[in-house]
Structure formats: structure tokens, C-alpha cells
């Protein structure tokens, strides 16, 4: 049996790693790792392969950046050739990026079975490119692996047959559980490099078009962060998209020595910072889940989330685009009044093993 994994963007890498490892326990399965090249910078891609212990991709489609249509079409054209040549029995796609939907569509048209890892999540906000990717991918997938039970409910409501849906838990948490000790060992170096004290800093990431592609919104966010940093020093690893926007809009960053804007960092470094942070401010999807697992307060700068368990059971609070609310919730955390969360069911470090049993048909 030949299984082909498709990944392309940073958040895919920590999801494929545990699934690749779990399937490697079955020597009779031949695995091929395809990187679409959607993300290509060293610190957006290669560093993750090294730190996660992933083998180098067998195939790199080298599509690079482009508009949604160009990027998706390029992946489809190049991936179709790969599928015709490799003739996999099953293709696994991950998350909700353009690489995910492009590969799933190619498989559906060629009649190759496809499994979607992290199926069923819905923000119900179709202005998000990821929501379109999730809806399309789930419609054509043959196996739908959900991280939380709300995913099963959404899929059933959309007419997906119950036999295709498998509630397996969260593969990203598998990676977190495995690598948390290694990440923890980096703290002496990182705290010294960035002059940080345990529980005495805020960690920020922002890259959603809804926040960073709108100059007025980006300026408001940066001003608010600069104000917060007077009370809580901030570390902000900047996504390339955000870096370009800050430069091109000439967004004023109030320099006060307490806000460090640094280049994107590796998985282990980021995990180490999350674990030691007093507070995380983000618009990422995965970070909402990681902070819930780590029981670290998370303020999400979005109006909605496709990961409602992080709000209902975890430590996540949606502040939307309301900067007054962001300040207020930050004060609440600083006053020690943050809510304690619980870890959602099956976020236990074994989701990928459950996927491996299902796709291989081997117990
Ligand atoms: C993509 C995903 C998003 C995910 C994010 C994580 C889609 C639709 N979006 O968004 O869901 O949360 O990845 O990072 O798939 N760039 C570089 N170097 C790189 C990659 C990108 O400089 O290695 C720059 C380019 O200017 C590019 C821009 O970042 O145009 C955006 O990259 P792109 O892959 O289009 O989307 P992301 O914003 O990264």
C-alpha cells in the first residue's frame, strides 16, 4: 500500500509529523511526502522539518507564493502529474491551507481516495480563505478525521456519510506532547537571548488578512500592543506577510524597548515561549489549541473561531477587532483573574496512531 502525504504551509508540518511516524510503524506501508512549496523560507519550512524529525520531502512542487487562484492552480497542475506518476492508494491532506484543497480536488477528479486530517472545523465565516478550503476539502474527502466532536456534527449536517467520519482527536497536540520536554530545555538560551523572565511577558502572532491587510486595523493593533508592552514586555515573531504590511503601510510602531519584533522562529522555540508566557495574543488557529492544552491564557484577535472547544473548554477568549476589549482582557490576566481551562477529549498525544489504524486497516 502506498500513502502519499501533502503539506505546504507552516501549520501543516506539525500535523503530518505524528501521522508519518505512526504509519512508519507498519513497514508494509510505503509513504511518500510531498511538499507543495507554498511556504519556502528556511524559517517557515526547513527548520520545522529538522525540529519535528520529519524526513526531507520526497517531492517538492516548488509552487511558491501567488494569488489564491494562481497558487491553488499551480499546485493542482503539478500535483496531478505527481499522482499520475506515483499512483498512490491513498492521499492524506492536512488542515485548511491552499495546498490542502488543491491536492484534495486533484485526487477527487482522478478517483484517488483522499483523507482529510483536521476535518469538520467551521468558523461559519466565508470571508476567510481557510473556511472555503475546509468546506471544499470535506465535500470530496473519503476519510474525515475530526479533532473535536463539533466537527462530526458539522459534517453530518452537511450530508457527509457517518461511515466516513472518524473522531480521532488532535494530531497537533500529539506533536506538542512529544516535543514539550525538548522545547522546555531551550528556555535558558531563549530567556537569555530575549531578556525574558518566566511568566513576565506576552507572546504575539498576527498574520490573518482581516487584521494585517487593513492598514487602519494593523495600526490600531500595533498601538494597542505598544501600550500593553509598558506593563507586560512583548515578543512578536513576525510572519513575512505582516512584516511586508508593516513596512508598506508605514505603520507606526511605538518603540519603547519593551516590544521585540523578531523573525519567525522554529517550532521548539515557539513552544518554549508559549509555555512560559503570561499571555498569548494571536489570530492563528493552531495557537488557540496549543494554549488550551498548555493552560496559558489566549486572547484571539478574531470575531469567530473554527475551534470553539478552545473557548468553551479551554483558555481562549475571542476579543474580535475590539482593542478596548483586548486591553481589558489583558488587565484581567495581569490581575490573576484568568479562567482555568480543561483539555478537550482525545487531545491525548495518540490521535495519529488512531488514524494509522484506520487508514492501514491494520490493528
Ligand atoms: C497561509 C495559510 C494560512 C495559515 C498560514 C500560516 C492559506 C490560504 N493560508 O497563509 O491558513 O494560517 O499560511 O503561516 O493557505 N511568504 C514568505 N515566505 C514564505 C511564505 C510566504 O515570504 O515562506 C510571504 C509571501 O509574501 C506570500 C505571503 O507571505 O505572498 C503569504 O503567504 P501565503 O502562503 O500566501 O499565505 P499565508 O499568509 O502564509
Question: Per-residue pLDDT tens for 140-167?
Answer: 999 999 999 999 999 999 999 999 999 9
Question: What mean pLDDT, rounded, does the chain reach?
Answer: 97
> Does residue 157 sit in the same domain as residue 13?
yes
- In order of 17, 197, 295, 327, the CA distances from 338 in angstroms are 32, 20, 10, 14
For residues 47-57, give the mean pLDDT. 98
**Test site for ligand 1: of 38, 42, 49, 301, most ligand atoms within 8 A of the Cβ:** 38
Per-residue model confidence (pLDDT) at position 41: 96
Cα–ligand 1 centroid distance for 149 (angstroms): 29
In a domain, 339, yes or no: no
For residues 12-16, give the mean pLDDT. 98
Q: Other C-beta atoms within 10 Å of 207: how many?
A: 19
> Does residue 144 sit in the same domain as residue 48?
yes
> Does residue 158 sit in the same domain as residue 11?
yes
List all residues 6 or more positions away from 280 whose beta carbon is below 8 Å from its beta carbon. Answer: 202, 203, 204, 205, 274, 287, 291, 296, 297, 298, 299
Cα–ligand 1 centroid distance for 39 (angstroms): 6
> Does residue 158 sit in the same domain as residue 252?
no
In the chain, the number of structural domains is 2
Which residue bears the cell 481589558?
328
In a domain, 208, yes or no: yes
Tell whether the model's pLDDT for residue 344 goes beyond 70: yes
Residues 203 and 279 sit within 8 Å (Cβ to Cβ):
yes
**Test site for ligand 1: of 206, 240, 242, 265, most ligand atoms within 8 A of the Cβ:** 240
Atom number in ligand 1 closest to CA 95 = 11
Q: At what angle do helices 68-86 and 98-110 cross, to 10 degrees?
A: 40
Cα–ligand 1 centroid distance for 221 (angstroms): 20
Any atom of ligand 1 within 6 Å of the Cβ of 130: yes
List all residues 6 or more positions away from 27 whose beta carbon is below 8 Å from its beta carbon. Answer: none
CA distance 350 to 18: 9
Atom number in ligand 1 closest to CA 41 = 23
Give the 3-state secondary structure of residue 3.
strand
Tell whether the model's pLDDT for residue 254 goes beyond 70: no
Any atom of ligand 1 within 6 Å of the Cβ of 15: no
Q: For 168-197, what is each residue's pLDDT tens digit?
A: 999 999 999 999 999 999 999 999 999 999
> Does residue 325 sit in the same domain as residue 356?
no
Question: In the sheet where 202-205 sits, what is the strand order?
Answer: 259-262, 234-237, 202-205, 279-282, 298-300, 316-318
Q: For 285-316, what is each residue's pLDDT tens digit?
A: 999 999 999 999 999 999 999 999 999 999 99
Any atom of ligand 1 within 6 Å of the Cβ of 66: no
Residue nearest to atom 21 of ligand 1 (CA): 39
Residue 143 pairs in a beta bridge with 115
Q: What share of the chain in percent tops pLDDT 70?
A: 99
Per-residue model confidence (pLDDT) at position 249: 86
Any atom of ligand 1 within 6 Å of the Cβ of 242: no
> Does residue 47 sit in the same domain as residue 145?
yes
pLDDT band at residue 340 using 50, 70 and 90 as cut-offs: confident
Any atom of ligand 1 within 6 Å of the Cβ of 70: no
Atom number in ligand 1 closest to CA 99 = 15
> Does residue 214 sit in the same domain as residue 108?
no
Residue nearest to atom 37 of ligand 1 (CA): 241
> Does residue 137 sit in the same domain as residue 213?
no
In a domain, 183, yes or no: yes
Residues 279 and 330 sit within 8 Å (Cβ to Cβ):
yes
> Does residue 226 sit in the same domain as residue 293?
yes
CA distance 306 to 195: 35
Tell whether the model's pLDDT for residue 255 goes beyond 70: no
CA distance 296 to 31: 36
Any atom of ligand 1 within 6 Å of the Cβ of 37: no
Q: Which range among 55-69, 143-157, 252-266 shows the weakest confidence by mean pLDDT?
A: 252-266
Tell whether the model's pLDDT for residue 345 goes beyond 90: yes
pLDDT band at residue 104 using 50, 70 and 90 as cut-offs: very high
Any atom of ligand 1 within 6 Å of the Cβ of 207: yes
> Does residue 115 sit in the same domain as residue 203?
no
Per-residue model confidence (pLDDT) at position 339: 83
Residues acting as catalytic residues: 207
Tell whether the model's pLDDT for residue 253 goes beyond 80: no
In a domain, 342, yes or no: no
- Torsion, Cα 151 11 39 139, to 10 degrees, reads -10
CA distance 114 to 128: 23
Any atom of ligand 1 within 6 Å of the Cβ of 129: yes
In a domain, 98, yes or no: yes
Tell me which residue range forms the domain holding 15. 2-170+347-360
Give the residue ranges of DSSP H helices in 199-308.
209-212, 215-228, 240-249, 267-276, 286-294
pLDDT band at residue 251 using 50, 70 and 90 as cut-offs: confident
- Torsion, Cα 238 244 249 255, to 10 degrees, reads 30
For residues 9-28, give the mean pLDDT. 98
Tell whether the model's pLDDT for residue 257 goes beyond 90: no
For residues 92-104, give the mean pLDDT. 98
Strands (E), the chain: 2-7, 30-35, 59-60, 90-94, 113-117, 143-146, 165-167, 202-205, 234-237, 259-262, 279-282, 298-300, 316-318
Give the 3-state secondary structure of residue 208.
coil
Per-residue model confidence (pLDDT) at position 37: 98
In a domain, 138, yes or no: yes
Per-residue model confidence (pLDDT) at position 39: 98
In a domain, 237, yes or no: yes
Cα–ligand 1 centroid distance for 240 (angstroms): 8
CATH code: domain of residue 278: 3.40.50.2000
> Does residue 135 sit in the same domain as residue 185?
no
> Does residue 195 sit in the same domain as residue 297?
yes
Tell whether the model's pLDDT for residue 130 goes beyond 90: yes
Which of 186, 226, 187 lies closest to 204 in space, CA to CA?
A: 226
Any atom of ligand 1 within 6 Å of the Cβ of 211: no
* Grid cell listed for 36: 507543495
Amino acid at each position: 500500500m502506498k500513502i502519499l502525504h501533502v503539506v505546504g504551509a507552516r501549520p501543516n508540518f506539525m500535523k503530518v509529523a505524528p501521522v508519518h511516524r505512526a504509519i512508519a510503524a507498519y513497514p508494509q506501508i510505503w509513504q511518500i511526502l510531498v511538499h507543495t512549496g507554498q511556504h519556502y523560507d528556511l524559517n517557515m519550512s526547513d527548520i520545522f522539518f529538522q525540529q519535528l524529525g520529519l524526513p526531507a520531502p520526497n517531492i517538492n512542487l516548488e509552487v511558491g507564493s501567488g494569488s489564491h487562484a494562481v497558487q491553488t492552480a499551480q499546485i493542482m497542475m503539478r500535483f496531478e502529474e505527481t499522482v499520475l506518476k506515483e499512483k498512490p492508494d491513498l492521499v492524506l491532506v492536512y488542515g485548511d491551507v491552499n495546498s490542502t484543497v488543491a491536492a484534495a480536488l486533484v485526487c477527487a477528479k482522478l478517483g484517488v481516495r483522499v483523507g482529510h486530517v483536521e476535518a469538520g472545523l467551521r468558523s461559519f465565516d466565508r470571508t476567510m480563505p481557510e473556511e472555503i478550503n475546509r468546506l471544499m476539502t470535506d465535500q470530496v474527502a473519503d476519510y474525515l478525521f475530526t479533532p473535536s466532536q463539533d466537527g462530526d456534527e458539522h459534517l453530518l449536517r452537511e450530508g457527509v456519510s457517518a461511515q466516513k467520519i472518524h473522531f480521532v482527536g488532535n494530531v497537533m497536540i500529539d506533536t506538542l506532547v512529544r516535543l514539550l520536554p525538548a522545547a522546555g530545555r531551550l528556555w535558558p538560551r531563549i530567556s537569555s537571548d530575549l531578556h525574558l523572565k518566566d511568566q513576565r511577558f506576552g507572546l504575539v502572532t498576527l498574520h490573518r488578512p482581516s487584521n494585517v491587510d487593513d492598514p487602519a486595523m494593523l495600526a490600531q493593533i500595533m498601538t494597542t500592543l505598544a501600550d500593553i508592552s509598558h506593563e507586560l514586555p512583548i515578543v512578536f515573531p513576525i510572519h513575512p506577510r505582516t512584516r511586508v504590511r508593516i513596512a508598506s503601510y508605514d505603520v507606526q510602531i511605538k518603540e519603547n524597548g519593551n516590544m521585540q519584533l523578531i523573525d519567525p522562529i522554529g517550532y521548539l522555540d515557539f513552544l518554549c515561549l508559549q509555555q512560559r508566557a503570561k499571555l498569548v495574543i494571536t489570530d492563528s488557529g493552531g495557537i488557540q489549541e496549543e494554549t488550551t492544552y498548555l493552560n496559558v491564557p489566549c486572547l484571539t484577535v478574531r470575531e469567530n473561531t473554527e475551534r470553539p472547544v478552545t473557548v468553551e473548554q479551554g483558555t481562549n477568549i475571542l476579543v474580535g477587532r475590539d482593542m478596548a476589549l483586548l486591553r481589558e482582557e489583558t488587565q484581567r490576566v495581569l490581575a490573576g483573574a484568568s479562567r482555568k481551562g480543561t483539555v478537550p477529549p482525545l487531545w491525548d498525544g495518540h490521535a495519529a496512531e488512531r488514524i494509522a489504524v484506520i487508514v492501514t486497516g491494520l490493528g
